[in-house]
Amino acid sequence: MTETITKTKAFASQGDMEEKTISFTQVGEGLYAFTAEGDPNTGVIIGDESVMIVEAQATPRLARKVIECVRSVTDKPISHLVLTHYHAVRVLGASAYGAREIIMSDTAAAMVEERGQEDWDSEFGRFPRLFLGHEEIPGLTRPTTSFSDRMTVYLGKRRVDIMHLGRAHTAGDAVIWVPDQEVMFTGDIVEYHSACYCGDGHFGDWPETLANIAAFEPKAIAPGRGDALVGDAAVAAALESTADFVRSTYKPVERVVARGGSLKEAWDAVRAECDPKFADYAIYEHCLPFNVGRAYDEARGIDTPRVWTAERDQQMWADLQG
């Protein structure tokens, strides 16, 4: 694969400038998933009096596409915005919604301060299409409300539980559970036919967090990327494929590190394991270098993911070329 890496020094997503087809799928009564062929998803929860949005999108421009879909089913005001984690492609469109409350976990809120600007700068370079119209972004998105383990919001009579069930995609991941319909919005802890981005992840904790989600026995899941999942079979398949992706990425790297191997050797081992199963997944090629880099660190005992910067990206490419 050295030849391929040498020829493709830009991230795979930098050449992806084609607009995606939007779907707006009902996953329960008054519950919807805004999806777009592997681009970041957004959830919609309609209560008696107002609407909660889950994930803001990368820019106000993209957020307005969500709002158009919301307005096709309700004219109730948008009162709450829940952000499952701190990544720029999830949070920087927040200003478009005009929500009076923006909710994150305490850990996610701290990560905005610790690495939010660096993440914005990095993702801006990686995903040019998602950041069209970036001039409207007023700055970093910070919560008005945060929580440690869980909190409950009532949209009129509709109860919404917002919980941290464990580390996975990031240290501060939140899930949103709507008990009256037994539907969960998982953020990027769960993906469907889309690669998991693990560059800021915790491989060792991820399987247990997935098991904690499965324990709720959700009838439907709106994942972070990919189609909405309705029904026991679809939910179970997505949970298992996500677990398989995380396991198949980490275990080869763990074996390489155990024998003192290099990052390049880890890359080759992951490709051998993952390409046959996941090569056709959305953003697979984009995620792979970051996933291998983070897995290599975690296998060497680095618990807190290092901050990605342009300089670190370039060094990673050089190391992967051997």
Phi, psi of 302 (to 5 degrees): -90, 105
Sequence-distant (≥ 6) Cβ neighbours of residue 21 within 8 angstroms = 36, 37
CA 136: distance to chain centroid?
22
The lowest-confidence range among 7-21, 203-217, 221-235, 268-282 is: 7-21
pLDDT, one tens digit per residue, over 239-297 is 999 999 999 999 999 999 999 999 999 999 999 999 999 999 999 999 999 999 999 99
- Give the pLDDT of residue 37: 84
* Cα–Cα dist 277/281, whole Å: 9
Mean pLDDT (the chain) is 93
SS3 state of residue 205? coil
Question: What does 126-151 look like in DSSP terms, one character per residue?
Answer: H-TTTTTTGGG--S----SEEESSEE
Question: Is the predicted pLDDT of residue 5 greater than 90, yes or no?
Answer: no
**Per-residue pLDDT tens over the stretch 172-206:** 999 999 999 999 999 999 999 999 999 999 999 99
pTM above the 0.85 mark?
A: yes
What's the one-letter identity of residue 288?
L
Give the residue from 133, 88, 124, 90 showing the smallest Cα distance to 14. Answer: 124
Comparing 74 with 7, which gets the higher pLDDT? Answer: 74
CA angle 105, 124, 264 (to 5 degrees): 90
